[in-house]
Amino acid sequence: MLKGTTRIELTDVNTGEVETYQNSNMVTNALRDVLKPLGLSKRPNRFLNEFVPYYEHLLGGILCFDTEIPEDADNYYPPAKANLTGCAVYGEQNNTKNTVRGGFNQTESEVNLKDRYVKYVYDFATSQANGTIASVCLTHKNGGFTSYGSKNAVQENTHMLMQSIAEDTLQYVYPSNTGAETSSRYSGLTIGKTEMIFVIDHAKDCAYYFKVADKSHIHITRRKTYLKSVSILENIRTTKPLIEEVELPELGTALDFGYLSYNYDPATDCLYICTSPDYRRASQKNILVTEIKLDTWKVKQYEVVNTTDITLATDSSWFGFVTGGYLCVKGYDSPRDVYKIQISNPANVVKLNRINASTVQGVPKLVINGRIYYDTQDDQLMIADMETNEIITTESMSLFNNYNRQVSVNPVRNEPLIYFCEEGTYSTYGWYMMCNYLATINNLDAPITKTADKTMKITYILQEQ
């Protein structure tokens, strides 16, 4: 069991006056879930070698937010309305123009094995982390690198936001590893044939796929994942048995498409399929959004009119992303701004404000608490915030250490920490964790304000009991 305290010291550089704030913190279940076994994908080399010491790698980042974070042990990410005021990383100094990240205090930090505690000390100069601080949280080391974005983040290609957590991985996309015509957005589909993976359910030990049987009919299939079970009769590497195939009611509007994108939205527990007959949609042209509620299999369709005054891009299997009732789609021409359009009321449309970026190069890969992560192969990872209507750069250039291809990211239902990542029928990346999780949450008694005439020291102690 872990318990801890946080002490914040604000020092006025003109008078020497010191303000001190101290609070206890709560520990979330994030570390428990990071270490949770994944069935037969269990060779633990990374946890025995690459991630040790845990206090440095799994807890070696700190995040300061301007809003209180709900204190729930199963709450691993801040709400979209919470803005990042400051951050820092174990063992790292900040020598860039980024004014959000501070530096690690090597002299005062310590690991005490006798008394079973680790003390993290981080320093912030007068120019760093200025603004309101209402909550202070520990995160993964990579999460400490301005992982929620800032107006002057300097991007680097070393500390990516997704990290592999398993070397040996059962595969759910290769036909030769499922015994079926399975695929994903990376490799595309054939009508009437291909099952497209979109989410994995750890609790139910299955993967969900959809199949476009024809333009008026969609089927949902569930296949065994062997995350919680094993068969002594089947070769589980080459076969993922069909659990069920559900034929949905005939669609009211046929999928007249040349281009299709899709995503699972954890906020609504729905699959969204976006279709367009062309590679772009001019103003007043429609994009068809088909919403499928998991388990009940209730289907709704929305003719989403392009109510902007520009042409929207519908030219890839990542062109549209739906979350919280809004379709996000990029402009066809530079600077390729992101627009969010309410699917039930397309007149409600907002262009997201670009922060620290001249264009939006990436495609939407996943969403967590109203933040959509737009990723490219090798540069400019951005976060689209549905609350603030901004899209902002992080320090990490990409979710992955990958310089060639787009990686598909499949959520795990009700488990926002882990993802199954792959490149369709080309390659499987396997299981990854998102590194900007909240391992601890410490809400201050009242928000404090750091100004440019003050330095700040944060001392965060975790006691092992």
| Three-state secondary structure call for residue 431 | strand
Contact between 159 and 395 (Cβ < 8 Å): yes
Residue 155: inside a domain, yes or no? no
Peptide bond into 44 cis (omega under 30): no
Q: Is the model's pLDDT at 167 over the cut of 90?
A: no
Around 298, how many Cα atoms within 13 Å sit in the side-chain half-sphere?
A: 6
| Three-state secondary structure call for residue 244 | strand
User: Distance between CA atoms of 107 and 89, rounded to whole angstroms?
Assistant: 15
DSSP 268-283: TTEEEEEEESSSEE-T
Residue 176: phi and psi, rounded to 5, are -70, -10
What does the buried/exposed string (b/e) look like for 370-404 if buried means 16 or more CB atoms within 10 Å of the residue's CB?
Answer: bbbbbbbbbebbbbbbbebebbbbbbbbbbbebee
Q: Are residues 256 and 389 in the same domain?
A: yes
- Residues near 320 by beta carbon (within 8 Å), at least 6 away in sequence: 261, 272, 274, 287, 289, 314, 327, 328, 329
| Identity of residue 386 | M
Residue 170: inside a domain, yes or no? no
- Mean pLDDT value of segment 93-114: 97
Residue 405: inside a domain, yes or no? yes
Give the pLDDT confidence score for residue 383 in this predicted structure: 98
Q: Are residues 107 and 233 in the same domain?
A: no
Mean per-residue pLDDT over the chain, rounded: 94
Residue 157: inside a domain, yes or no? no
Q: Are residues 256 and 396 in the same domain?
A: yes
Give the pLDDT confidence score for residue 376 in this predicted structure: 84
Residue 313: inside a domain, yes or no? yes
Q: Are residues 375 and 316 in the same domain?
A: yes
Give the pLDDT confidence score for residue 292 in this predicted structure: 99
Contact between 395 and 158 (Cβ < 8 Å): no
Residue 335: inside a domain, yes or no? yes
Q: Are residues 100 and 67 in the same domain?
A: yes
The more confident residue out of 350 and 406 is 350
Q: Are residues 86 and 235 in the same domain?
A: no
Percent of the chain with pLDDT over 70: 98
> Could you tell me the residue range of the domain that residue 187 belongs to?
175-434
Q: Are residues 23 and 80 in the same domain?
A: yes
Q: Are residues 192 and 141 in the same domain?
A: no
DSSP code of residue 45:
H
> Which of the four pLDDT bands, split at 50, 70 and 90, describes residue 39?
confident
Q: How many CB atoms lie within 10 A of CB 94?
A: 23
DSSP code of residue 406:
P
Looking up tokens 């005062």, which residue turns up? 108
- Per DSSP, the chain holds a count of helices (H) and strands (E) of 4, 34
User: Distance between CA atoms of 78 and 412, rounded to whole angstroms?
Assistant: 19
Around 241, how many Cα atoms within 13 Å sit in the side-chain half-sphere?
A: 10
Distance from the Cα of residue 9 to its chain's centroid: 32
Q: Are residues 332 and 248 in the same domain?
A: yes
User: Distance between CA atoms of 336 and 321, rounded to whole angstroms?
Assistant: 15
CA distances from residue 12 to 17, 292, 391, 412, 450 in whole angstroms, order as listed: 5, 56, 34, 47, 10
Give the pLDDT confidence score for residue 403 in this predicted structure: 58
pLDDT, one tens digit per residue, over 314-340 is 999 999 999 999 999 999 999 999 999
Q: Are residues 108 and 55 in the same domain?
A: yes
User: Distance between CA atoms of 145 and 395, rounded to whole angstroms?
Assistant: 6
CA distances from residue 260 to 140, 213, 249, 255, 338 in whole angstroms, order as listed: 35, 14, 20, 9, 18
Give the pLDDT confidence score for residue 47 in this predicted structure: 83
**Residue 170, exposed/middle/buried by CB under 10 A (0-12, 13-18, 19+)?**
buried
Q: CATH number, domain at 244?
A: 2.120.10
pLDDT, one tens digit per residue, over 105-159 is 999 999 999 999 999 999 999 999 999 999 999 999 999 999 999 999 998 888 9
Residue 301: inside a domain, yes or no? yes
Contact between 356 and 153 (Cβ < 8 Å): yes
User: Distance between CA atoms of 143 and 37, rounded to whole angstroms?
Assistant: 22
Give the pLDDT confidence score for residue 42 in this predicted structure: 66
Q: Is the model's pLDDT at 82 over the cut of 90?
A: yes
pLDDT, one tens digit per residue, over 239-289 is 999 999 999 999 999 998 899 999 999 999 999 999 999 999 999 999 999
- Residues near 135 by beta carbon (within 8 Å), at least 6 away in sequence: 64, 65, 67, 68, 69, 78, 82, 441, 442, 443, 444
- Mean pLDDT value of segment 425-442: 92
- Mean pLDDT value of segment 374-381: 83
Q: Are residues 320 and 200 in the same domain?
A: yes
Instruction: Locate 64 and state its tokens.
Output: 């300061």
Counted domains in the chain: 2
User: Distance between CA atoms of 254 and 430, rounded to whole angstroms?
Assistant: 34
User: Distance between CA atoms of 255 and 132, rounded to whole angstroms?
Assistant: 48
Instruction: Locate 189 and state its tokens.
Output: 């589909």
Give the pLDDT confidence score for residue 105 in this predicted structure: 99
Q: Is the model's pLDDT at 404 over the cut of 90?
A: no
Of the candidates 273, 206, 191, which has an alpha carbon nearest to the alpha carbon of residue 245?
Answer: 206
pLDDT, one tens digit per residue, over 352-363 is 999 999 999 999
